[in-house]
Amino acid sequence: MSVEVTRLPSGLSVVTDRMPHLESATLGVWIGAGSRDEAPDEHGISHLLEHMAFKGTKRRSARQIAESIEAVGGDLNAMTSVESTAYYARVLKADVPLALDVLSDILSEPAFDAEELRREQNVIVQEIGAVQDTPDDLVFDRLQETAFPKQAVGRSILGTPETVRSFNPARIRDYLARNYRAPDMLVAAAGAVEHKAIVEEAEQRFAKFIGPAAPAPEQAQFRGGTRVENRDLEQVHIALALQGLAVRDEALYSLQVFTSVLGGGMSSRLFQEVREKRGLCYSIHAFHMPYTDTGLFALYAGTDEIDAPELMRVVIDEVAKATETINEAEIAKAKAQMKAGLLMALESSEARLGQLARQMLAYGRPIPLDEIVGKVDAVTIASARAAGRALIGSSRPAIAALGPGKGLESTAAIAESLVRRAA
């Protein structure tokens, strides 16, 4: 495999990884702008733009966009996150120029037809409704809002029905022009690709994207607090967050290892203690999400309302114990899982593409595998424990709870008091 990077005079970056054993390729365009780049009255516009990009251009109707890729056996997709938006396609190697043509077309010449916009706004409103009916998704929206109140980074990606319906074609074009600029964009490809050919295509097809990089979004401020919603549900859904680490923080890998040991799988401490030993829940896990300037460490569990207070006590106890008792075997297992994930990504052009794109957006360069493995291997018992202790003492926790009963408030209060005591 061979990773190559070219930066065009416009500021657009092109990164490729040729995987000669493959007959297909995955390629896409990443923009370093997502929901946290929205103004208060633009809540949900990043995601709406992502949807509208597929709804017609000056050359192609929405149907023609879909058919042009599916006619050659490929597929086309997109995603919006807090800090980025991506549009990508997977095709056979002979169809790479077609995929780049379609991707450039939907971003350079979007029609933003008023009738298509009306229909897509309704689709997204339905999507928002689906989240409202999915408590284990909704609780994370509430958690993000509680962790970062009155900030773009804390708002849901989808927006609200009111904000989504308020946007017109002119507003969407304004947002696109402000945020989709070459220095903030990346063309990436992995699989059966030739770097020189991708660069030549990108230079031609993305020439319209000019201008300086957009200003950095407002610095995130983790505040914490509690949000409880009584709902007629079968279970209580509880999520707890602490301020994590930014993507460039030197302690990031130690915290990732700590998180994996604590709640990263069926053999993790939380799963074994809370579910297997005590039977207090069906689902429990922990994860860490790094952003440009901060991070979010989160725990989630779904349980009966009667068991919720005990579950919280056990969870916080396990978090506190982990900061002092994580052992060599657990560290080795977490490292092995992380390295396996890195290596397995090399077997899929789509996974490898995502890996490269995230690295370029976060660090401005592809990170060699040996460098990442070295940082993983450098994690020690002492550094993992220290990362856990720093985590507990970093901030007031954010707690979100959805479900039945009058015990939600007390459960949330237990969580906050125990976290403070553990710190």
Catalytic center residues: 50
Distance CA 357, CA 374 (A): 21
**Cβ proximity of 303 and 311 under 8 Å:** yes
Distance CA 373, CA 336 (A): 10
Concatenated DSSP letters of 221-268: ----EEEEEE---SSEEEEEEEE---TT-TTHHHHHHHHHHHHSSTTS
Distance CA 196, CA 280 (A): 56
Concatenated DSSP letters of 322-363: HHHH--HHHHHHHHHHHHHHHHHHTT-HHHHHHHHHHHHHHH
User: Counting beta carbons within 10 angstroms of the beta carbon of residue 201, is it exposed (0 to 12), middle (13 to 18) or buried (19 or more)?
Assistant: buried
Name the token pair of 257: 């290892």
Distance CA 412, CA 315 (A): 12
Q: How many CA atoms lie less than 13 Å away from 238 in the CB half-sphere?
A: 32
Sign of CA dihedral 41, 42, 44, 45: positive
- Give the pairing type, strands 225-230 and 398-403: parallel
Distance CA 350, CA 339 (A): 18
Name the token pair of 355: 């890996």
Sheet holding 13-18, edge to edge: 2-7, 13-18, 185-191, 24-31, 85-92, 75-80
CA 63 to chain centre: 29
Name the token pair of 263: 């709640």
Distance CA 268, CA 244 (A): 19
Sign of CA dihedral 327, 333, 338, 343: positive
207: helix, strand or coil: coil
Sign of CA dihedral 136, 49, 365, 69: positive
